Amino acid sequence: MGAPKSVWMDGKNVPFEKATIPIFAHTLHYGSGVFEGIRCYKTRKGPAVFRLKEHILRLQRSARCMLMEIPYDLDGIVRGVWEAIADNAWEACYVRPLVYRGAKKLGVDPTGADVHLAICTWEWGAYLGEEGLEKGIRIMTSSWMKNPANSMPTKAKVTGAYANSVVAKGEAIAMGFDEAMLLDRRGFIAEGSGENVFYVSGGVLHAVDNLSALEGITRESVIVLAGDLGIPVQVGSATKDQLYNADEIFFTGTAAEITPIREYDLRKIGEGRRGPVTERLQKAFTKAVRGEDERHIDWCEYAPAVRTAKAKG
């Protein structure tokens, strides 16, 4: 992880070493915060943040679920993201806005707690390894069930809910795999510890749908890109054995981008390497995030100065 020079905290950039929170912070004790994960890509026209507004809108929905009032509006958060990127002079980075409750009070009751916004940025390479992006990864079904929708908000990125991901991922790594797959309470495929799931069968791309899974922004983008490529897409629930017998499986996520899965529960998937549909989608995704696909230029948000210059030109 490439650490930043500074972190944006409540309106200003603070040197990394000083960007700390009090030990009494409510969110540290109870997981009562919400966050986003966003990527900023290097493009010919400078850094571009991928689908920034959609991510901030999801952050606002997450906060609403957790009864939190973010102290900045959409424009204020967007500005904060650009201030954080500019202060660190990133060409490309990962962006993590975090809304957290501070130290004004402890005890689970969140009423009246102070709410803060921090925007962390850092250099984050391939989430599941460079080799994983090309050759595919090995995953296992977790012994842990995905948080059910009546126990945790599942469409919100709540810090505490990620204990579910942490325990599943830790187990998978300890057992020698690259990532965990979590099932829902009925045994259907939910999602990876930090990714949505797709599989290809008989030329059809299946976007796994599950009420306990996050509505991934990468997932939605991949469905659109498949449409561009003329790949038929079906959205629906899936079982483990449908995945075992699929021609291809891959994960999607902001951090993971499009990561092929070459082995699932010790079963070789397809040819045991990245499949052709996965590769086509990876290429299309790479073009889109770099602002090289005219059809999806609106997915790339450029720094405000560049936007102004463009409007005048």
**Positions marked active-site:** 157
Distance of CA 279 to CAs 45, 203, 228, Å?
A: 26, 14, 15
Are residues 218 and 207 in contact, defined by beta-carbon separation less than 8 angstroms? no
Binding track over 224-253 against ligand PPE, x by CB under 6 A: ----------------------------xx
**Helical H segments across 89-216, by residue range:** 130-135, 162-174
Q: Looking at 212, 254, 259, 282, which residue binds ligand PPE (CB under 6 A)?
A: 254
**Nearest distance from residue 40's CB to ligand PPE, in Å?**
12
Query: Whose Cβ is closer to ligand PPE: residue 216's or residue 291's?
Result: 216
The Cα 25–Cα 20 span in angstroms is 11
Distance of CA 215 to CAs 19, 127, 156, 187, 220, Å?
A: 31, 19, 9, 19, 8
Query: Whose Cβ is closer to ligand PPE: residue 220's or residue 279's?
Result: 220
Q: Looking at 219, 262, 274, 296, which residue binds ligand PPE (CB under 6 A)?
A: 219
Query: Whose Cβ is closer to ligand PPE: residue 155's or residue 273's?
Result: 155
Strand pairing of 179-183 and 137-141? parallel
* Total of residues contacting ligand PPE (CB under 6 A): 16
Q: Residue 188: how many CB atoms within 10 A of its CB?
A: 20
Binding track over 175-214 against ligand PPE, x by CB under 6 A: ----------------x--xxx-----------------x
DSSP letter for 30, please. Answer: H
Told to check if 217 binds ligand PPE by CB under 6 A, we report: yes
Cα of first residue to Cα of last residue in the chain, in angstroms, is 38
Q: Looking at 37, 47, 80, 270, which residue binds ligand PPE (CB under 6 A)?
A: 37
Positions touching ligand PPE (CB under 6 A) are: 37, 165, 191, 194-196, 214, 216-219, 252-256
